[in-house]
Amino acid sequence: MTLSWILTGAGAGPIAGPRIRASVFSRSTDHGQPPRRACAREILPDRWRWRSLLPVTGRCPSCRVRIGPYLLLAELTAGFALAVTAARASSAWELAALVWLVLLAVPLAFIDVAVHRLPDQLTAAAFGGTLGLLAVAALTAHQPSHLGRAAIGAAALACLYLALSVIRPGDMGLGDAKLAASAGAAASSAARTTITARMIPLPVPPPVTGAASPSAPTTGKRSITARTGGACNSSAPRSVPA
């Protein structure tokens, strides 16, 4: 993707931030608890803004108590992850798949930090959307085998994390395995992109004398990985009755 796409990805972070914050706020509850609808000091049931958007300050719009990631932290994290994603994608549909995953993985990371769990609703949405968009990317590119690779990557990484959750249940959980399925599908796509890029030979200057020389593919595309995380809501309680 071009520099303009990378800059667009970075700029999309602040736009996505308020929605990410609302997701983090409502889903940062203990297992079995309903989504939060109010801050620590108030009971504000069914107010639409608590479900859709929250300010970048990370504080309650009414009483100013902190209710989410610190100022601009979610926005900067999303912007960085989206910029890296834009740099890695090889097609518009693949970019859509990776952006979808990032927009769910970022709130999941904050929720994991806050309450040490990954809600099924978000991990399921991440997997379904990522694999669905990668399927569209594969079919529109007339490369159905790419979808098979994504499925294999998803299964392989999910099995690895599932095994880790059995071996070390204190460090890993089923939520990690579910999210790993999405990451595996995306990683197989990114790996294929890197391999494809390495197979493209650079232009070779014409021989100085006589016979032609074989071309030597020597591209230098770098792999980039990022791990995001952050703090959320240390002062507010984990759940408030709706």
Which of the 8 DSSP states describes residue 185? Answer: H
Q: Which one of the spans 31-39, 74-82, 119-127, 156-164 is the region binding Zn ion (CB under 5 A)? A: 31-39
Q: Which one of the spans 56-64, 162-170, 200-208, 217-225 is the region binding Zn ion (CB under 5 A)? A: 56-64
Indicate the residue among 65 and 151 with the shorter CB distance to Zn ion: 65
Phi, psi of 54 (to 5 degrees): -135, 150
62 binds Zn ion (CB under 5 A): yes
Indicate the residue among 60 and 84 with the shorter CB distance to Zn ion: 60
Nearest to 239 by CA among 53, 24, 35: 35
Indicate the residue among 27 and 192 with the shorter CB distance to Zn ion: 27
Among 7, 11, 34, 42, binds Zn ion (CB under 5 A): 42
Q: How many residues bind Zn ion (CB under 5 A)?
A: 6
| Closest chain position to Zn ion (CB) | 60
Nearest to 179 by CA among 96, 109, 82, 79: 109
How far are the Cα atoms of 133, 139, 174, 188 from residue 148, in angstroms, in the given order? 13, 11, 24, 10
d(CA 86, CA 2): 8
Closest approach, Cβ 42 to Zn ion, in A, equals: 5
Q: Which one of the spans 61-69, 134-142, 166-174, 181-189 is the region binding Zn ion (CB under 5 A)? A: 61-69
d(CA 169, CA 225): 26
Closest approach, Cβ 236 to Zn ion, in A, equals: 9
Closest approach, Cβ 39 to Zn ion, in A, equals: 3
CA angle 17, 19, 20 (to 5 degrees): 60
Indicate the residue among 67 and 81 with the shorter CB distance to Zn ion: 67
| Residue 84 host element (H or E) | helix 73-88
Residue 85 near residue 67 (C-beta atoms within 8 A): no
Indicate the residue among 40 and 87 with the shorter CB distance to Zn ion: 40
Closest approach, Cβ 37 to Zn ion, in A, equals: 11
43 binds Zn ion (CB under 5 A): no
39 binds Zn ion (CB under 5 A): yes
d(CA 86, CA 107): 19
Among 63, 139, 141, 166, binds Zn ion (CB under 5 A): 63
For residue 59, the cross-strand partners are: 66
Residues that bind Zn ion (CB under 5 A): 39, 41-42, 60, 62-63
